Amino acid sequence: MSTSTPALGADRRVSHGLARALRSPSLRLIGRRLAAAIPVLWGVTLLTFLVLNIMPGSAAQQLLGADATPEQVRQLEAELNLDQPAWVRYWEWLQGVVTGDLGNSIASGQPVTTIIGQRLPVSVELVLCAIIVSLAFTVPLALMAARRPNGIVDRLSMVLSMTGLSIANYVFALVLVVVFAVIFPVLPAIGFVPLSDGLLGNLRSLILPAIAIGFPLFCFYTRFLRGDLVEQMRGEDYVVTAKAKGVGPWRVLIRHAFRNSLFGLLTIVGLNLGTLIGATVIIEQIFALPGIGQELLQAINNRDAVVVQAIVLLLAVVVVVANLITDLLYAVLDPRIRYGQRSA
């Protein structure tokens, strides 16, 4: 409606665009969510610190072994600054964290950032593989199950899911090892081959752990996606429209129902990332993968408070950020949110 010159209009559009970006709901959402995450993360560190202090035994005792005299232990504690009151140590650690210094491991003296840098890639790869494994099986199975509710595929997938949801992942991991490494020795039972030593070996060392973590998730996602698809196929008017066009049932299911179910699935995957990371701690231990989870368990055994604190904080940050990304992805994928509500 405005009759400004094109150049001026363009100029105005740029500044207008910037102003709008700053006021944009998604940026404000990010800001709000990050602000809300700060007390959460702080709470996590405080809780971890308290739990570590309640735990019997000290790092010095662990380092020196059972034969050490109380004298020696006290001396080492003084060297390691462990004789200070708990709140002082916490305060010093927190100051370090805020300035980006995670400190040095009590046990090895290495900087915590170096340790994390070595361990994190393994865990990230494991988590990604687990997500890929779970979704790669979830999507086709849920589609087939939803194509004929109460049909043979649906019933079988139901049995499978219930089995997977009721079995603990470490038990399932051991079953996998027995079957695929002992009875049929096709995959390594333990150990990790880094990506730099070849993709095939790397993947072979990750298949079993990824399945052990991914299977329960796959079961959960399949139940969810199948239910959501069936609901869409039964209840949504646009499904009727698609059928009324003469579109075939598979196409209706995939192009119409699945497309809309994707948002829900995405949310569930994002929200479950915490569970998934939790699972890596135990699974890395079982399969002797040198990841963050294994390091965390070791650090707990060593009463290496600095490392434990750093890793727990890192995992908390990952979960918070993952949830935020889920919300943002939702906004990117859903055109109703992407363009904002507008009715002409």
Partner 1 sequence: MSTYGAPHSAAASVSGDGSRPSPSTTMPLLEVRDLWVRFRQGDRQVWAVNGLSYELFGGQTLAIIGESGSGKTVSSRALMGLLPETATVTGSARFDGEELLGLSDQEMRQHRGADLAMVFQDPTRSLNPTMRVGNQITEAIRTHLPLDRRAARERAIELLRLVRLPSPRQRFFEYPHQLSGGMRQRVMIAIALAADPKLLIADEATSSLDVTTQAQIMELLLDLQGQLGMALIMISHDLGLAASFADEVIVMYAGRAVERASTHQLFAHVRMPYTEALLEAIPRIERPSHSPLPVTPGRPPDLTTLPVGCPFEPRCSRARDTCRETSPPFEEQEPGHWWACWYPCDDGGSG
Contact residues toward partner 1 (CB under 8 A) are: 234, 236-238, 240-249, 255-256, 259-260, 334-336, 339, 341-344
Q: Give the whole-angstrom CA distance, residue 259 versus residue 273.
A: 22
Closer residue to partner 1, CB minimum distance, 70 or 246 = 246
Q: For partner 1, give the closer residue by CB, 256 or 303.
A: 256
Q: Would you state the torsion angle of the CA atoms of residues 95, 98, 104, 105, taken in this order, to the nearest 10 degrees?
A: 100
Q: Which is nearer to partner 1, 166 or 343 (CB)?
A: 343
C-alpha distances in angstroms, 78 versus 50, 75, 81, 171, 305? 20, 5, 5, 43, 15
Q: How far is the CB of 161 from partner 1 (least distance, A)?
A: 23
Measure the CA–CA gap between 201 and 178, rounded to whole angstroms: 20
Q: Which is nearer to partner 1, 242 or 286 (CB)?
A: 242
Between residues 12 and 234, which has the closer beta carbon with respect to partner 1?
Answer: 234
Amino acid at 178: V
CB of 17 vs partner 1, minimal distance in Å: 19
Closest contact distance (angstroms) between CB of 24 and partner 1 is: 18
CB atoms inside a 10 Å sphere around CB 56: 6
- Residue whose CB is less far from partner 1, 74 or 243: 243
Q: Minimum Å distance from CB 236 to partner 1? A: 7
At closest approach, how far in Å is the CB of 147 from partner 1? 12
In the numeric block, the tokens 């006021």 are attached to: 23
Q: How far is the CB of 15 from partner 1 (least distance, A)?
A: 25
Distance, CA of 31 to CA of 132 (rounded, Å)? 30
Half-sphere exposure of residue 79: CA atoms within 13 angstroms, side-chain side: 13
Contact status, residue 204 vs residue 188, Cβ threshold 8 Å = yes
- Of residues 160 and 242, the one with the C-beta less far from partner 1: 242
Q: How far is the CB of 25 from partner 1 (least distance, A)?
A: 15
4 near 12, Cβ under 8 Å?
A: yes
- Do 219 and 160 contact (CB within 8 A), yes or no? yes
